[in-house]
Amino acid sequence: MPSPAAAQASGAISIFSDDRFRGYSLSDGYPVGIFDLSYDAPSGLYGAVSGSMAATHSRHIEPIGLILNAGYAKRQSHGISLDVGVVQSIYSSYSIGGHSRSYTEVYAGVAGKRLSARLYGSPNYLRRSGTFYGEIDGNVPLVEKLRLSGHVGMLVPLHSNPGPATYGREVDWRVGLVRQFGKVSAQAAWTGVRPGRVAHPNNDAGRTAFVLGLTYGF
């Protein structure tokens, strides 16, 4: 008789040259530190919390955001997993154009060995508009301990009203390399976004960026 799956807790500490979310910088182009904790129960329930802070040009440490995530995942045949969940994102005034904001997204996704996809829905994305966001992520091993990663996503507003608080359709992307060194991974990625009619609250619309990072998992 097989033994029941054990609960699993894990964490990670990361340093990145920039904190990019859906193509936009949340750290205004400055280095950021991120701390992640997650818990997976044998039942398929899971939860995670992530906090981030940036080192600014004035040598001050500024809070960026706090992200809370809870969901349920179920493994299917042929190595496919399905999951549903909810994310609460809270961003500081430093990260989002001078005003702190929070929003909620619910999601459903499917994941395989090399590809995963999720669809998110939010009634109050950055307190501006209801949105859908779809993403596809992939990874391909190149040589031992080195893999190519990729991401493409699209943000679609549920309605559009005139004025500065309106989002247009946006497409973001990222392509990079990840090299594993035991518990440490080194990452390098090229990322960008094609903004819609109105840009993100930060003023780096349309810019691309080369982001470097190190992550220690425990």
Over range 35-58, report the average pLDDT.
94
pLDDT for 74: 94
Helical spans, DSSP H, in 53-119: none
pLDDT at 203 over 70: no
CB 159 within 8 A of CB 130: yes
pLDDT at 67 over 80: yes
**What is the distance, to the nearest Å, from the Cα of residue 25 to the centroid of all Cα atoms in its chain?**
12
Q: How confident is the model at residue 199 (pLDDT cuts 50, 70, 90)?
A: very low
Provide the pairing of β-strand 115-125 with 129-143.
Answer: antiparallel
Q: Which domains does the chain have, with CATH numbers?
A: 8-217 (2.40.160.40)
User: What's the CA gap between 78 and 113, in Å, rounded?
Assistant: 10
pLDDT at 145 over 90: yes
pLDDT at 130 over 80: yes
Query: Residue 120 half-sphere exposure, CB side, CA atoms within 13 Å?
Result: 25
DSSP conformation letters of 151-185: EEEEEEES---SSTT----EEEEEEEEEEEETTEE
- Name the residue with higher pLDDT: 208 or 12: 12
Q: How confident is the model at residue 184 (pLDDT cuts 50, 70, 90)?
A: very high
User: What's the CA gap between 27 and 54, in Å, rounded?
Assistant: 6
